[in-house]
Structure 1
Amino acid sequence: MISVYAGTWWLDEDGIYSVASGYKWFRGMLPAMSWHSWIWNSVNLPKHCFIGWLIMRKRLLTKDRLCRLVGSTEDGCDLCGTDKETHDHIFFHCPYSRRCIQLLSDWCMTQLPTSNFEDWWSRQAFQSQAEGDAIAAILVAALYNVWWVRNQCRVNSLIFRPEYVARTVPGSSLISLGASIGQPDLALPVHYILLYRLLAGIIN
């Protein structure tokens, strides 16, 4: 804990103390996370943001973490049964989640990431902020739904086909995007494409 004040570190640019500047001084310098802009996005549903944040921080209670925390001996992936359940496996390597991502990539006509989300996002050049928001909403919703299916499989012994997840994600994403549809300044083609493909039942 920082207990000694030195210099003017807790003053803002104008040399005036504020609670915010004092907190920043007390907290110290923290690295900026490149994924914050698409996880904590205003168009994402709050529950999607929270699970997405836990995923990026690798704080979900996956079986490998449970083995370390409580000594559990069961560590197999419930979705595919081919490997140990870790964050990297569930969202990057599991055949189930990779199939979900591929179906959604075909649906939104954009190749979504199947390996490193941070590197993929930093390389994207979207035509507009609204298009980036729409893709972010789909990607974060996909992560949330993969984790939801995993929990259904573990707790209720239910498994849903990847096609079900691919149909569910666009609907939940459009809930958060719906406020912008119809507004002249945000009524960009990506919104209409997403809405049309959902209503037309492109995903069988």
Structure 2
Amino acid sequence: MGKNFQAILPEHELFIKQQQMFFVGTAADHGHVNISPKGHDVFRILSPNKVAYLDLTGSGNETSAHLSVNNRMTYMFISFEGNPLILRLYGDGTVILPGTQEWEETAQHFNILPGARQIIISNIEIVKTSCGFSVPLYSFAGERNLLLEWADKKGEEGLEEYKKKKNSTSMDGIVTPIGHQYD
């Protein structure tokens, strides 16, 4: 039942925009595989073969660490309401940090939320859809704003200290691009 495509088609774009969350998957050459859920309005389709998302400060930074070693990346969108469908985007991932020319160019596509720490940009090679028949139905009740409120309360200095402490190295000891800023 799965189908492969070489680019994001208009019907794929519509499906992606209807989803309230997505997942990103990465892995380095060794250590743990990471799958992270993402909420809020942080995902953008830049072209049929290029996407980006605004990554918010969190308790870890595994995606960024993995991409600095092995830039393979998968995005997954799942229909929890309506017709069943799973859509995956396979490609690469590159970390863009604030203060760079790439950030200035790419950040224009986003409403920069409190706690924004980096943008992940990806070139997409394969779009794959599958049935999603076994995915349960869930109803969307709303966004959790706890992370945004936490980032607002921490302030810029507090966030910098937090990122230095919690986002500089992965759980497997891989230094992230944020960590390289503090070398």
Larger radius of gyration: 1
Scaled to the shorter chain, the TM-score interval is under 0.3
What is the TM-score normalised by the length of structure 1? Answer: 0.22
Structure with greater helix percent:
1
